[in-house]
């Protein structure tokens, strides 16, 4: 494992924002389900994306990595070549591929690591029971499946992970017969569903979205091979947007101002807090600003909450984060993690059952903190170091490799002073 020691310093410079992890998962899967050859450009091989690539190969899909691109040749028919699928710690890999495994009718076992082994799968268990799909599960992974998914009506509550909806959206168009996904309560994380619908459309699969209440899916569709370039990731840009606001000036490259990414909300939220952000076609410039507290609704953008908590901790006045209960079932309990670790640095963060209350300060003191083996906690704490009076040591900083393996190199490019070392 790695630890990192950061010497506080204001950041200034230019960052090419890494490609969207959410879109990368979806593009790799769509390419694998398409007949013929597709090329996915601007792909970052983080731990999560590598897990999805390797998992898709188990269905007989050929992939050839060429630098930051991936050539994918989808088979005419999916077939299980290896019965055990390793998802590492990637919830997207697990929840997206479960329905794909049910296209084959063959026995498949899903494995995972870390907190993924106990992350909820209840929405799928309900479907398995309704369709008489056999499964073995003893409260944690592995999950072993036997059976085929059939078309029909699928009822899902809107306050569970949108990953279930995406998993079904990938597969239902390929089944005999038409299907509907019926959302039984207001849908959270709409932005992630939009990303899925965008990718499906790019690969010639059509879904009718009826106000995010019902999704109508015609059966017997086919994915068409295509070339696709992954745009920059707003959930990763969030760290640099906060860094520029707390530091001196950060220019973020490769962000699509018209993106469907739900985490694009970071721009409006930081602006509402008093941030100074200028947006061009592919360049976003963030300058130092004196920010103030606001109310932040986390329902549609949970992944950016840890770093927004950092900004709130260093903004004038009180910030309240609401509708954030789903942060408790991520790679860590992110409400507890960010509260615990920021308070070690001298912040004033109060954890509530479904959110946070933060009373801002001018500066933090520094100290030793823990990543909780969570990439977004590790990166958020790194950004907090900008406004610390003493060094910050982050234990288990290697967690960033889950989504952004080059994070600390980029941190150094814009003036971050850090030293990494291995333990054990």
Q: Which residues are catalytic?
A: 303
CA distance 19 to 135: 35
Q: Could you give the C-alpha distances from 108 to 2, 82, 111, 252, 396, in angstroms and in order? A: 34, 8, 10, 42, 32
CA distance 30 to 24: 10
Contact 378, 403 (CB under 8 A): no
Its sign, for the CA torsion 46, 52, 58, 61, is negative
CA 209 to chain centre: 22
Contact 413, 15 (CB under 8 A): yes
């Amino acid at each position: 494992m790695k630890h990192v020691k950061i010497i506080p310093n204001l950041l200034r410079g230019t960052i090419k924002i890494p490609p969207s992890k959410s879109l990368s998962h979806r593009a790799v899967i769509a390419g694998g389900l398409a007949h013929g050859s597709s090329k996915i450009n601007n792909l970052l091989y983080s731990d999560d994306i590598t897990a999805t690539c390797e998992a898709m190969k188990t269905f007989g899909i050929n992939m050839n990595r060429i630098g930051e691109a991936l050539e994918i040749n989808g088979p005419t028919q999916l077939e299980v070549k290896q019965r055990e699928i390793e998802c590492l710690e990637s919830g997207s890999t697990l929840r997206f591929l479960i329905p794909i495994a049910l296209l084959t009718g063959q026995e498949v076992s899903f494995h995972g690591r870390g907190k993924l082994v106990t992350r909820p799968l209840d929405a799928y268990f309900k479907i398995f029971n309704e369709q008489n799909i056999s499964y073995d599960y003893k409260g944690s992974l592995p999950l072993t499946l036997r059976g085929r998914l059939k078309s029909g009506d699928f009822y899902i509550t809107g306050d569970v992970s949108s990953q279930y909806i995406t998993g079904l959206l990938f597969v239902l168009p390929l089944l005999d017969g038409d299907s509907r996904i019926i959302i039984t309560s207001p849908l959270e994380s709409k932005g992630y569903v939009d990303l899925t619908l965008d990718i499906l459309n790019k690969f010639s699969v059509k879904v009718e979205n009826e106000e995010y209440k019902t999704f109508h899916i015609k059966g017997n569709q086919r994915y068409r091979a295509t070339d696709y370039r992954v745009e920059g990731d707003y959930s990763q840009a969030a760290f640099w947007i906060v860094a520029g606001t707390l530091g001196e000036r950060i220019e973020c490259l490769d962000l699509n101002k018209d993106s469907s990414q739900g985490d694009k909300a970071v721009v409006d939220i930081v602006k509402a807090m008093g941030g100074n952000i200028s947006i061009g076609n592919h360049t976003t410039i963030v300058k130092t600003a004196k920010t103030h507290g606001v109310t932040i609704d986390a329902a549609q953008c949970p992944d950016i909450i840890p770093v927004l908590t950092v900004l709130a901790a260093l903004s004038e006045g009180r910030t309240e984060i609401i509708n954030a209960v789903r942060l408790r079932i991520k790679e860590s309990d992110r409400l507890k993690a960010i509260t615990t670790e920021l308070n070690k640095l001298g912040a004033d963060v109060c954890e509530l059952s479904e959110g946070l209350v933060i009373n801002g300060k001018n500066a933090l003191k520094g100290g030793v903190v823990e990543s909780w083996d969570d990439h977004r906690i590790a990166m958020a704490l790194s950004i907090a170091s900008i406004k610390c009076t003493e060094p910050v040591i982050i234990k288990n900083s290697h967690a960033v490799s889950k989504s952004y393996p080059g994070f600390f190199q980029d941190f150094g490019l814009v003036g971050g002073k850090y030293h990494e070392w291995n333990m054990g």
